[in-house]
Structure 1
Amino acid sequence: MRYFQYRSLPDTFDQDIYIWDVDKTYLQTNFESLRGLVQLFFEYSIDKRSLPGAKELLLELRRGKELPPLFFISASPVGLKKILEGKFLLDGIQHDGIILKDYRRLRKLLGKFRIKNNFSYKLLCLLTHRLKMPSLSTEILFGDDYERDADVYTLYADILNQAVDEKALKARLKSEKLTRREQKKLIEAALKVQKSTPVSNVVRKIFIHLVRNKEARAFDTYGDRLMATYNYMQTAALLFEMGKISKMGFRRVASSFELKYPKDGWTLKKSLQDLKDRSLISSQTFEELALWK
């Protein structure tokens, strides 16, 4: 793992930090096949394609005088750093740091070489990142359902919330069939994070972008902290209700689906109605956003 941080936050910072996964959350990455994996190393920044609405939503999250902190966590190899950051530049996205996978260092650290199962890697990234952030800061996490972001993010949030002690964490990591070295490193990092975290409910929200055609209600078991969305129009609506983006910001995200991206059946009204049916937005928010045209 290689950590690149471009912005230092003051120790007194007590606002939200946005943490985004990259592949399948921000970028349309094809690593389902060996051919797709190999192709990643031959793509230029201009070849990368962001998911519909992802770029527009990221731009809205960064609006404002204080530039809310934005960090990326990726399982892409560190050799793709220039390509990924070139894509950020092309999309106009300013970010404050990124974590990338360094296979040599990771093998020394965790004693395991994993390509697709990134459970231990992502959890270690989140814990490592947390140790570098102000202790009073809070977080909003963005991932997808291609792998197991919901499980990793929820476990991470429970660790920060002191809801998982050392014994319970060890049992959980063992159930994930992690090596002893992986378990040891993660437990050490988790205990350090718990010791340095004086506030509760650090992870305010977890957004999971659905890419496997699963039903959103399948994620109800994770509780109110996690919200599964079918598109970034829905995510934008939820962030509007949280007060994280403006009404005009929501309009810009929603407009991009009409003007730039292929139609997939998820219209503005259908997207908002689904959120209302799942009791994720109020009737007032539904009316306010559905009738903006």
Structure 2
Amino acid sequence: MKRAHLVNFLAVKTDEDLAIRANLTMRENIYSSARKYERFAPKFPIQAYKLLNAYQFKIKIIGRDDNHQITFSREFESDSFGGLNIKIGGQEISCAEKLEIFEIGKSPGLEILLGNFIPIKITGEKKNLIICDFDKTLVDTKYSTPEEIYKSLTSPIQNFPTVTESVEMAKGYINKEYHPFILSASPHFYEEAMRDWLYSNDIYSAGIFLKDYRKIFSLLEGDLTPKDLKVQGIYKLNHLLDIIHMTGIPDKLVLMGDNFESDPIIYLTFNELLQGRTEPRELWNRLKNYEAFKLSTKQNSMFLNKIFQLSDIIRKLEKKTEVTIYIRKKAKEDELRVPKQFSYQIDRVNLYETPSTQK
């Protein structure tokens, strides 16, 4: 018997509101099955391939305080892919310490509990974040050939080399109370396998942002297109914007990536936006003419809307974020080379080597 299942769920509570990002699908109820599962075995991505299916859901979210009293109850409808991206404000939110999530639309009169969650708190005067790319930055994954893609789908991520220097650097900032977010262009069904890897490396409470491939293959509603299977620029920059819209403008921000694709340009562009230096439309016009940021008509409007929203928030708060960027070297390059139009504050970029980049 299939029932609604949360693929991923992230709730971030700030001083102003509660931001929730979730994805749902239908999955066999393993708890009513006679099948046996290895309890602590690392998962590998192909086990979740059925998450490519798309469904629509109606969700009830209940907030409770420390005394388990209800502070709010709200209902929402997901998009046709089972995605939910909402913000809830008001005094009732400030008292909510726990969340209960129910699916209420598939069986009339029946509310199915999907899970209980404690929102991540990013509150107070100081708000520090670290956003880290996953592939080639934390783990030396390879997706260049059909054989490498097959291996990545059918193997736990633990089978790939860990980039120890990057992991230790990220954990160093986490220990300084920087809240971690993980950004990857891997398909959305890598969530559980990636979470297993993070836990095995003592990285907890990380919000994970992946690429939803259902939106690529949809003919009607997808905000990604087939070209986005390979072109990562607009996707990653969009998710950087999503993270900041959830958390609010940070005081300090650390960005970690690699020099194998377009991470330096993405991070330098994002830094320029956070400094409020460039008018949003000018930034948009510059990006859409560069190969790594080729945009469809729908992506144009979505992206421009997001950067205008963020620009307005920065202007109202009159707040400048202290940004530090770390880029893992691809080979033995001594300096970072990017097109001149993306080189604003390039001195904020720190190149670092790992044993595999010194060959």
> Is this a same-fold pair by TM over 0.5?
yes
| Cα distance between partner residues in 2 of 1:19 and 1:137 | 14
Tell me which amino acid in the other structure corresponds to 1:71: F
| Cα distance between partner residues in 2 of 1:217 and 1:93 | 29
Matched, 1:193 2:303: no
Aligned in 2, Cα 1:3/1:133: closer, same or farther, shift over 3 Å? Answer: farther
| Cα distance between partner residues in 2 of 1:166 and 1:53 | 35
Segment of structure 1 superposing worse, 222-231 or 124-133: 222-231
| Cα distance between partner residues in 2 of 1:186 and 1:30 | 29
Secondary structure in structure 2 of the residue aligned to 1:31: coil
- Alignment match of 2:182 (pick from 72, 85, 88): 72
Equivalences for 1:65-214 in 2 at 5 Å? 67-105=177-215, 108-113=221-226, 114-176=228-290, 177-197=294-314, 198-214=317-333
- Alignment match of 1:36 (pick from 129, 140, 148): 148
- Residue 77 of structure 1 and its aligned partner are, at CA, apart by 0.9
The equivalent residue for 1:224 is 347
Aligned in 2, Cα 1:262/1:137: closer, same or farther, shift over 3 Å? Answer: closer
- Residue 11 of structure 1 and its aligned partner are, at CA, apart by 4.1
| CA contact 2:326–2:351 (8 Å) conserved in 1 | yes
Q: Which runs of 5+ in 1 are unaligned?
A: 232-260, 266-293
- Residue 23 of structure 1 and its aligned partner are, at CA, apart by 0.3
Could you say which structure has the larger radius of gyration? 2
Tell me which amino acid in the other structure corresponds to 2:325: I
Secondary structure in structure 1 of the residue aligned to 2:120: coil
Secondary structure in structure 1 of the residue aligned to 2:278: coil
Q: Which runs of 5+ in 2 are unaligned?
A: 1-6, 12-118
The equivalent residue for 2:10 is 5
The equivalent residue for 2:161 is 49
- Residue 14 of structure 1 and its aligned partner are, at CA, apart by 2.3
The equivalent residue for 1:277 is none
| CA contact 2:257–2:263 (8 Å) conserved in 1 | yes
Tell me which amino acid in the other structure corresponds to 2:334: E
- How many residues were matched structurally? 233
- Which protein has greater RCO, CA pairs closer than 8 Å, 6+ apart? 1
| Cα distance between partner residues in 2 of 1:46 and 1:133 | 30
Aligned in 2, Cα 1:154/1:3: closer, same or farther, shift over 3 Å? Answer: farther
| Cα distance between partner residues in 1 of 2:280 and 2:264 | 21
Tell me which amino acid in the other structure corresponds to 1:216: E
| Cα distance between partner residues in 1 of 2:277 and 2:302 | 19
| CA contact 1:27–1:49 (8 Å) conserved in 2 | yes
TM-score normalised to the size of structure 1? 0.71
| CA contact 1:48–1:87 (8 Å) conserved in 2 | no
Secondary structure in structure 1 of the residue aligned to 2:181: strand
| Cα distance between partner residues in 2 of 1:227 and 1:58 | 14
Q: CA RMSD in A?
A: 2.6
| Cα distance between partner residues in 1 of 2:351 and 2:356 | 21
| Cα distance between partner residues in 2 of 1:109 and 1:187 | 17
Tell me which amino acid in the other structure corresponds to 2:308: L
Aligned in 2, Cα 1:203/1:104: closer, same or farther, shift over 3 Å? Answer: farther
Aligned in 2, Cα 1:158/1:103: closer, same or farther, shift over 3 Å? Answer: same
How many percent identity over aligned positions?
Answer: 19
| Cα distance between partner residues in 2 of 1:144 and 1:125 | 17
TM-score normalised to the size of structure 2? 0.59
Aligned in 2, Cα 1:229/1:81: closer, same or farther, shift over 3 Å? Answer: same
- Residue 3 of structure 1 and its aligned partner are, at CA, apart by 7.1
| Cα distance between partner residues in 1 of 2:241 and 2:262 | 17
| Cα distance between partner residues in 1 of 2:245 and 2:256 | 19
Aligned in 2, Cα 1:230/1:190: closer, same or farther, shift over 3 Å? Answer: same
Secondary structure in structure 2 of the residue aligned to 1:126: helix
| CA contact 1:76–1:100 (8 Å) conserved in 2 | yes
Q: Which has the higher helix share?
A: 1
Tell me which amino acid in the other structure corresponds to 1:208: I
- Residue 263 of structure 1 and its aligned partner are, at CA, apart by 11
- Residue 13 of structure 1 and its aligned partner are, at CA, apart by 4.3
